[in-house]
Structure 1
Amino acid sequence: MKYATLAASIMLGLLFVTFSSIFFFGTMPEQKLNPEETHFMAAFGPTGYMKFVKVFEMLGGILLLVPKTRNLGLLCVGPVIVNILAYHQLVKGDGIFNPILIVICALSLFLLWAERKAWAGLVK
C-alpha cells in the first residue's frame, strides 16, 4: 500500500506540475474554442485568475511529490480539481468522462482514501 500511495502521489503531482509548467512557459497549443469557451476565457484570462489557479496547481503538484506534505498538496489541488470538473461539464460541454479527468479524480480519491485517518479530523 505504501508504494501504491507513493506512485499515485508522484503521478498526480507530475500531472499538475506539467500542466502548470506548460501554461507558465507559454507552450500551450492553440485550440479551437466554442463560443462559450471563448466568452469564459475572455473574462477569465485578462483578470489574472488563471495565473492564480496555475500557481496553486504548481504548488499542489510540488507538495504532492513530497510524501510528508502530500495532504497539504491535496488540500491545494482539491479546489482546482473541482474547477476543472465544473469547466468540462458546464463550459466545455464534453462532460466529466474525459479519460484524463477520470485519472485525476481516481488518483486524488485514492490518495484521500489512503490518508483517511489524517483527514478524519475534518469530518468529526
Structure 2
Amino acid sequence: MKIAILIARILLGFVFAASGVVSILKLGKMGGMPADATTFLTLMVAHNYTVFVALLMLIGGLLLLVGRFVPIGLVLLGPILVNILLFHILFQVRGIITGLVCTGLEIFLIWAYRSSFRGLFIAAPEIS
C-alpha cells in the first residue's frame, strides 16, 4: 500500500507542478476550444487569475512531490480539481479524462491520509 501511495503522490504532484510551471511561464496554447471556453480563459488570463491558480498548483504539486505537508497540498489542489472537472463538463468534455484520473488520485490520497483530515469532521470543535 505504501508503494501505491508513493506512486499516486508522485504522479499527482508531477502533473500539478508541471502544469503550474507551464502556466506561469505561459508555455501552453489555448487553441482548439469552443468560443465560450476561449472567451472564459481569455478573461481569466487578462485578469491574472490563471497566475494565482498556477502558483497554487505549483505549491500543491511540490508539496506532494517532496512528501512534506501532503494534506495541505491535497487541500490546495482539491478546489482546482473541482474547477478542472467543471470546465470540462461545461465547456469541453473531450479533455475530461485527465481530470478524472487526477481526481481519482486525489481521492485515493485523501483516503490514505484520512487521519490528517479527521478534525474536519468534528461537529462541535473546541476553540483553543
- TM-score when normalising by structure 2: 0.87
Q: Which runs of 5+ in 2 are unaligned?
A: 123-128
What is the aligned partner in structure 1 of residue 84 from structure 2?
84
Contact 2:24 2:55 in 1 (8 A): no
- Deviation of 1:86 (Å): 1.1
* Moved segments of 4+, more than 6 Å: none
The one-letter amino acid of 2:97's match is P
Contact 1:9 1:64 in 2 (8 A): yes
* Equivalent position SS for 1:77: helix
- Deviation of 1:90 (Å): 1.6
What is the aligned partner in structure 2 of residue 57 from structure 1?
57
- TM-score when normalising by structure 1: 0.89
Residue 122 of structure 1, aligned match among 102, 114, 120:
120
- Deviation of 1:14 (Å): 0.2
- Deviation of 1:26 (Å): 2.7
State how far apart, in whole Å, the 1-side matches of 2:27 and 2:41 are.
17
How many equivalent residue pairs?
Answer: 122
The one-letter amino acid of 2:26's match is G
- Deviation of 1:30 (Å): 4.9
